[in-house]
Structures are given as structure tokens and as C-alpha cells.
Amino acid sequence: MIDFSGFVEAHVTGILFSEDDKRMSIFFRGQARHCFTLVAEGVDRFVADKFREQNIVDRIHLWDSASEPNDYWDSLALLLSGVRSDERNEAVWLPVIEREVAAIERGEKVFVEIEPVYGGWIVFLAASIAINK
């Protein structure tokens, strides 16, 4: 399990995405001004909404095979469909959402949500993640 406690109130300073190998690096500057990177491999879906010059992290959620789908269902559905639940056609999106939940439950994918205090809400679906310090 990854310890995300060092990410609280860290600043997201940049995001680099390589379409060729579906790899994404999210760069952070922590409280003590040390820098670290969250690296995601096999990125399927990615959204950074309201990204600003200063992006301060409130918390990071990592959902994997040990997670309860009800805890991440709404955020995953928003990532996949691009619309809020009151605007989403469930008949169209339910099979897509259930397919990705099943992949998470089988351990084939992880779902990550970076909640901001200020700035960007960042969510993505990937094969794996790691932290480089």
C-alpha cells in the first residue's frame, strides 16, 4: 500500500503524458520543498479539471482490488462518461462502468483521484502506479 500522507498540502507542479507508452508523470513539491513524482503506467483514461498555477492537494485516493466499488463508483463514472450522474444515460454507461469496476476488482487496473484544496481535480485509470522520490 502506498503512503500518501506526504502528498497532503503538496503542490502539483506539472503533468507529463506520453501517448506512445501510455505513461503519465505527475510532479509534486511537498511541504519541505522536496519534490517527488507519481508515475502511472498503462493509463487508459485521464482528466485534470481546473488545473491552476498553484494546485494544492487535499488527499489522494487509490482504489484497487481491495477497495469497495461504492466508494469510487461516482468518480469513476464521471471520468468514463464525462457527465454528472443527473445528466448521464445509465443504460448507455452502466456496462462501461461495470467493465472497469470488474478490471479494478481483478487487479488489472487502479483508479486514482487527487482531490484539491485548490486547483486541479485529477483522476485517472491505469494499470499501475508508483512513487519516485
- In this structure, the strands spanning 35-41 and 121-126 are unpaired
Strand partners, 35: 29
CB of 26 closer than 8 Å to CB of 11: no
- 20-68, pLDDT tens digit by residue? 999 999 999 998 889 999 999 999 999 999 888 889 999 999 999 999 9
- The pLDDT of residue 89 is 84
pTM of the model: 0.92
Q: Where are the strands (E) in 30-109, listed by range?
A: 35-41, 45-49, 55-63
- 74-128, pLDDT tens digit by residue? 999 999 998 888 888 888 899 999 999 999 999 999 999 999 999 999 999 999 9
Query: 106: which DSSP letter?
Result: T
- The pLDDT of residue 51 is 87
Q: Is the alpha carbon torsion for 27, 30, 35, 41 positive or negative?
A: negative
| Backbone dihedral angles phi then psi of residue 78, each to the nearest 5 degrees | -65, -45
Closest CA to 101 of 131, 77, 117, 85: 77
- The pLDDT of residue 41 is 98
With H, G, I as helix, E, B as strand and everything else as coil, classify residue 105.
helix
